[in-house]
Structures are given as C-alpha cells and as structure tokens.
Amino acid sequence: MNSNTRRSSPRLGWLGPLAMTAGLWLLATPAGAADITDELRLRGRLQARYGFSEDFIDGGWYDAIELPRARLDGRWRPEDWLELTLEVDLADGIEAKDVFGEVELHPLARFTVGNFKKPFSRLKLDSPWDLVIPERGLLDRFAISTNRCGGFGGRELGIMLSGKWDGAVGLRYFVGVFNNPLGEGTYNRDYVARLELHAIKGLTVAVHANHKLFREDLAEGGIGSGSARRTRNLFGGDVRWKLDAFVLQLEAAYGDNLGPGQDDSAATRVSNGEGHELVGAHAIASYRVELTDTFSLVPAFMAEVFDADLEQDGDTAVRLAGALNADLGESIRFSLSAEGLLQEAKGYDSPTRFYLQINLAY
C-alpha cells in the first residue's frame, strides 16, 4: 500500500479466474505481442517501490517496500466507432478500475458510458505510468482524488459526451453526469465539464468545473436523525506547454472542501474545513535527454502550494518534489524521487520521502 489511502472498491470475485488467465497469458507472451488482433489488446502493468519516509509523529524514519499498482487491462475494438475497456488492479485483491464503452458517432460526438475518471484535472487524467513525478501531490490527494463521494475527479459511474474539432484553433470538450462510485450505495451526483484549446503547436490550455450534489447523514455529525442534501463546487484550469524535449505543466483549482474520506486519517486532520473554500496550485517541469534510441533520462521538478481551508490558519503547505527518470524502451522506467514540505502544515503525514520506483509494462 502506498501513502495514499485507497478508496474502498468492489472486489469482483468473478474476475479472478479471468484476471489470472490473462496474467499467465501475458507473462508467456513475448514483449510487444500483446495485440492479439487489430481489434483486441491485452496488457499488464506494474509499479513497485522501495523508500524511506519520515514519521510525522515521532520524527523517526522507516523504510517500506510497496506495490502501488498492478494492473491488467483489455481493450476490444470490433468496429472503428466502438471500443470497450476493462481494467482491474491486483495490488490489493481484485479491484475494478476502468469499465466502460465508447461509441463515436462523429469526431464532435463521442459517448462514453461506464466507470471511468471524471474529466477534471490534467494531472489526474494522465496515466500514473506517464507521470514524471510519481506522486500527484496534495491537491489531488485531498480534493480531486479524495475517497469521499468519488472526489471531484475520481472514477465514478457516468455517461459523458465529448468531441474534438481540428480548426485554426483546436478544440476538445467533455461534458458528463456521474453517479456513485462503482460498488458504493451512497448518493451523489457530479456534473462535470472540461474545455481544451490548442491555439499554438505544443500548447494546451484547459478549464474545468465540477458541481457535486450528495446527501450527508446528520446522525453521524451529532445533529440528529435524517440526512441533508449538500452541494459543493470546484473550478480549475491547467496549461501544458511542450517545446521539443521540454514540458511545462501548470494547474490550479479553487472551490469547496468535501471533507475527509472515510478511511484517510491524514485527510481527517487536513480536510477539517468541510464546506469552506480550498485552493491549490502546482507547476511541473521536465526535460527528456535521449542518450540512445532506447535509453532516455527525464529529470523533473514539481512545486506545489495547497490550503485545505482558507478560514483556518496554519494549514497552508508548500511541497517540493523532484525525480530522475530512466526510460529503457517503452516498457521500463526507473524513478529516483524525493519530496518534502518546505513549509510544514499541521496534519500532513510523511513530510519527507525518498524512494526508488520501477514501472513495468508488458
């Protein structure tokens, strides 16, 4: 388990034999041969990590071996306009991740239905295997991916309309309505929209918004029996500029604090301003150095500011993170990473960490 607490997801017993069979098939298949046909692709990916973290309580240090992710996924595309995706994670039991279908009627009209990420935050939408800084950071953990009501950008059951237009100014849009997270019976609705503009080669500017409705059990808060309907909003934007080997990514968000997830003790300490405003922003810069056709080095740096409650003093954190990534072909990445809080805020666990992570794709 990594430091980010997992949100409870369904353990799909019927997927066990299927996942095991697919895994054995993949292990027995030569690298690069996972595309069975043009219509069907099977893939396996794994992340393993060994590192040292500072204990935020007693100030000591501890080491740990972690398996943040172990994924099997399949994609079936029987027609050019139809695609089905199934992804499960095996790092902690069998956990469903992406389970959705896509139908493209026109480049401007593509429907997605199932369980998938909400179109909020470029960093969240990026695959964890493509991240140059392995941990997405505080804004993602305590707002976008929090395990309460699916967060503002986590995976949920939904239906989404998206499309793209390649004109003088390229445009992509996403509009979706999302239900409860897969396997959870709590009530919540998310109305999410994202707009991306491509005006200059290599430059993408995007804005996004999430309007969330959910019911809160008043008895748990000591107010009395029954429940109340709540609304929360989060607004944000991001910029990605790619200039040859250099990539700069900026992102910011402002809105309401959802409160802590049910299992995250750190979020309980940090996100105690439920219903108050939060703000967060980060910048990530990286540069790819291609030493050979199959070996590249990618140094990266991230700076982040996050305040979980603008009405409370002493909870603003400034986080710095750096990584040196070594890519061997398209299947292996080693990441030597370090991160810590330049300004310590109360309640944030593991303020300083050093670790070596390996990403495998087969």
Q: Which pLDDT tens digit goes with each residue over 231-261? A: 999 999 999 999 999 999 999 999 998 876 5
Pairing of strands 295-307, 203-217: unpaired
CATH topology of domain 15-273: Porin (2.40.160)
Question: Which amino acid does the sequence have at 95?
Answer: E
Distance CA 57, CA 67 (A): 24
List the structure tokens of 88: 């499960």
Better-predicted residue by pLDDT, 228 or 87:
87
pLDDT over 90 at 345, yes or no: no
Contacts 24+ apart (CB under 8 A), 197-201: 197/169, 197/170, 197/171, 198/169, 198/170, 198/171, 198/172, 199/169, 199/170
Residue 105 scores a pLDDT above 90: yes
Does 7 have pLDDT greater than 60? no
Query: In 121-202, which ranges are continuous DSSP H helix?
Result: 122-125, 138-139
Per the DSSP assignment, residues forming a β-bridge with 104 are 110
Kindly indicate the confidence band of residue 4, based on its pLDDT and cuts at 50, 70 and 90.
very low
pLDDT for 214 equals: 86
Write the DSSP string, 249-289.
EEEEEEEE-----SS-HHHHHH---TTSEEEEEEEEEEE-E
At residue 27, the pLDDT reads 45
CA 130 vs. chain centroid, Å, equals 11
Q: Which has the closest alpha carbon to 268: 111, 141, 150, 119?
A: 141
Three-state secondary structure call for residue 88:
strand
What's the pLDDT score for residue 226?
67
Q: At residue 212, what is the residue type?
A: K
Q: Cite the beta strand spans of the chain per DSSP E.
A: 40-54, 61-79, 82-89, 95-106, 109-117, 155-165, 170-178, 188-200, 203-217, 227-243, 246-256, 277-287, 289-290, 295-307, 316-328, 332-343, 352-361
Give residue limits of the domains in the chain. 15-273
**How far apart are alpha carbons 68 and 22 in whole angstroms?**
20
